[in-house]
């Protein structure tokens, strides 16, 4: 099925609250988990003081966005009650209020979204793509916040049991196009929306590899593409490395994402990713210049 960009054509600037992210270059979303059980850094940044320190370090290293999450979405993770999620993220969001970069809230829970927006958060990063009852209403009521719509088959607790696709790349693109169209039709401007294929969310190793190989095809959607592969188990399976030793594989994944046209990468290791992408960006600019500025 042919995929159309949203009305108005390809999005060139991502609108995120009072921020505007120009999409000529790659942007780094630094991960700030405030969960006791996240797969790669659970519990390390749980208090507001430690979280602020880590966020500032990521900004110094080049983070363009700080993504705060209070519910682990790793495969098999149990759901967290909304009150518990609020108790984890609100003190941290208060501490981050004066950061110079946009803060995103990684949540699917409408109450958490609303409370985060009230504290000045600029982006809703929802692995369930605003499908929980009330979530779309929160995005609609805030006239300007950015929104990440991610593809996920199933729920974190069960999604890795038997993921099946006849052809994963077109199916994920088609799903994202439909979700983007539904969210736009409800009244969210296309310039507020980024899309994400959801690596590791209801996908086998083969699916993840096919998606990475076909990532450039998501450009047809005309939305900024966000990729999250940092330290994920699919990289562990490819390299045989535990989560603490996946930096080289994560850098390789970020470079493939950049080469495929992604404009936001969600990463744990901001400084190292920035350096790797700086080399890629310089060579990419030279290559474009040699090709006549395309
Ligand atoms: C919260 N979270 C964990 N992995 C993610 C990914 O790949 N993309 C997005 N948008 N969020 C993620």
Triad 145, 12, 215: Cα angle to 5°:
95
b (16+ CB within 10 A) / e for 18-42: ebebebeebbbbbbbbbbeebbbbb
pLDDT of 53 reads 96
pLDDT band at 289 (very low <50, low <70, confident <90, very high): very high
Residue 200 alpha carbon, nearest atom of ligand 1 = 7
Q: Give how far Cα 34 sits from Cα of 51, 148, 266, Å.
A: 8, 19, 16
Of 40-49, 84-93, 147-156, which has the strongest mean pLDDT? 84-93
Q: What is the mean pLDDT of the chain?
A: 93
Q: What mean pLDDT do residues 40-51 have?
A: 73
- Please give the share of the chain, as a percent, with pLDDT higher than 70: 95
DSSP letters, the chain, are ---PPPTTSS--EEEETTEEEETTS-EEEEEEE--SS-TTTTTTT-SHHHHHHHHHHHHHHT-SEEEEESS--STTPPP--HHHHHHHHHHHHHHTTT-SS-EEEE---HHHHHHHHHTT--EEEETTTT-STTHHHHHHHSSS-EEEEE--SS-TTTTTSS---SSHHHHHHHHHHHHHHHHHHHT--GGGEEEE--TTSS--HHHHHHHHHTGGGGGGG-S-BEE--TT-HHHHHHHT--GGG-HHHHHHHHHHHHHTT--EEEES-HHHHHHHHHHHHHHHHHHHHHTT--
- CA–CA separation, 175 and 179 (whole Å): 6
Q: pLDDT, tens digit, for every residue of 228-251? A: 999 999 999 999 999 999 999 999
Residue 148 alpha carbon, nearest atom of ligand 1 = 10
Which residues are known catalytic residues?
A: 232, 266
- CA–CA separation, 72 and 65 (whole Å): 19
pLDDT of 258 reads 98
Distance from the CA of 38 to the center of ligand 1, in angstroms? 12
- Please give the share of the chain, as a percent, with pLDDT higher than 90: 84
Distance from the CA of 141 to the center of ligand 1, in angstroms? 24
pLDDT of 236 reads 97
Q: pLDDT, tens digit, for every residue of 12-33? A: 999 999 999 999 999 999 999 9
Q: Answer whether 39 contacts ligand 1 (Cβ < 6 A).
A: no
CA-nearest residue for atom 5, ligand 1, is 228
Q: What mean pLDDT do residues 154-174 have?
A: 85
pLDDT at 40 over 60: no
- Among 42, 113, 127, 223, which residue has the most ligand 1 atoms within 8 Å of its CB, making it the best to mutate? 127
- Among 116, 125, 226, which residue has the most ligand 1 atoms within 8 Å of its CB, making it the best to mutate? 125
pLDDT at 5 over 60: yes
User: Which is it for strands 103-106 and 123-126: parallel, antiparallel or unpaired?
Assistant: parallel
Q: pLDDT, tens digit, for every residue of 187-227? A: 999 999 999 999 999 999 999 999 999 999 999 999 999 99
pLDDT of 109 reads 97
pLDDT of 43 reads 58
pLDDT at 161 over 80: no
pLDDT of 280 reads 98
pLDDT of 4 reads 76
pLDDT of 215 reads 98
pLDDT at 149 over 70: yes
- CA–CA separation, 267 and 160 (whole Å): 22
Q: What mean pLDDT do residues 144-168 have?
A: 86
């Amino acid at each position: 099925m042919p995929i159309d960009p949203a009305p108005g054509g390809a999005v060139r600037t991502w609108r995120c609250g009072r921020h505007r992210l120009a999409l000529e270059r790659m942007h780094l979303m630094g991960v700030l988990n405030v969960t006791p059980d996240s797969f790669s850094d659970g519990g390390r940044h749980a208090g507001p003081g430690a979280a602020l320190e880590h966020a500032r370090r990521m900004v110094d290293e080049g983070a363009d966005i700080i993504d705060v999450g209070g519910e682990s979405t790793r495969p098999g993770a149990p759901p967290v009650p909304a009150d518990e999620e609020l108790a984890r993220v609100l003190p941290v969001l208060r501490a981050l209020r004066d950061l110079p970069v946009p803060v995103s809230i990684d949540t699917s829970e409408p109450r958490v979204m609303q409370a985060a927006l009230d504290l000045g958060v600029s982006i809703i990063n929802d692995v369930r793509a605003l499908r929980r009852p009330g979530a779309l209403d929160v995005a609609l009521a805030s006239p300007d916040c950015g929104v990440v719509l991610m593809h996920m088959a199933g729920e974190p607790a069960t999604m890795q049991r038997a993921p099946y696709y006849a052809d994963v790349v077109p199916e994920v693109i088609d799903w994202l196009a439909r979700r983007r169209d539904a969210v736009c039709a409800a009244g969210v401007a296309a310039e507020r929306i980024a899309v994400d294929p959801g690596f590791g969310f209801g996908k086998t190793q083969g699916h993840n590899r096919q998606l990475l190989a076909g990532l450039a095809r998501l450009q047809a959607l005309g939305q900024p593409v966000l990729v999250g592969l940092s330290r994920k188990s699919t990289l562990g399976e490819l390299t045989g490395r535990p989560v603490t030793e996946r930096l080289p594989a994560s850098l390789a994944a970020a470079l493939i994402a950049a080469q495929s046209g992604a404009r936001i990468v969600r990463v744990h290791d901001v400084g190292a990713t920035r350096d790797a992408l700086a080399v890629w960006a310089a060579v990419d600019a030279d290559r474009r210049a040699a090709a006549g500025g395309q």
